Amino acid sequence: KARRPGWTGCNILLGKIPQSGRIFYIKDSHPQPQSEIITAFNKICFLKDIKPDLKGWTLDLMLCLEKLPEKSFTLKEAYQFEKILQEKHPDNHFIKDKIRQQLQYLRDKGFLEFRGKGVYEIR
């Protein structure tokens, strides 16, 4: 609530950041290897290029996919999040279509790998 000249505030809701977007320089009191930090950053740096109005969709789907018990999942399993995503994006009436679109986008950016026959894997 500070009102100093030149001060700009920022509120980052950590709960809305997918685990893959949380890059640790120090974890459990131990510095992380530089190569791991760079690899983790390169995995998600595509997010900076997403238009703000679409970034919410991408992050929301990434958060949903992290709830799955395995890194490998089917399109049908991704559709299980339809209700959650509908609540977050009430103006979108084509949730399954948007899920497929976002899966394709995440695949094209290297975040997911398409294994065929509706099977994906988080890299």
SS (H, E, C) the chain: CCCCCCCCCCCCCHHHCCHHHCCCCEECCEECCHHHHHHHHHHHHHHHHCCHHHHHHHHHHHHHHHCCCCCEEEHHHHHCCHHHHHHHCCCCCCHHHHHHHHHHHHHHCCCEEEEECCEEEEC
Structure tokens at 71: 């890194």
Question: d(Cα 73, Cα 77) in Å, to the nearest integer?
Answer: 6
pLDDT, tens digit (0-9, with 9 covering 90-100), for 43-93 = 888 888 888 777 889 999 999 999 999 999 999 999 999 999 999 999 999
Say what the pLDDT of residue 43 is.
84
Task: Using the predicted structure, report yes or no on whether residue 94 has a pLDDT greater than 70.
Answer: yes
Q: State the average pLDDT over residues 30-51.
A: 88
On whether the CB atoms of residues 76 and 123 are closer than 8 A, the answer is no
Task: Using the predicted structure, report yes or no on whether residue 6 has a pLDDT greater than 80.
Answer: no
Average pLDDT of the chain, as a whole number: 88
Task: Using the predicted structure, report yes or no on whether residue 99 has a pLDDT greater than 70.
Answer: yes
Q: Which residues pair with 112 in a beta bridge?
A: 122
Residue 116: phi and psi, rounded to 5, are 100, 155
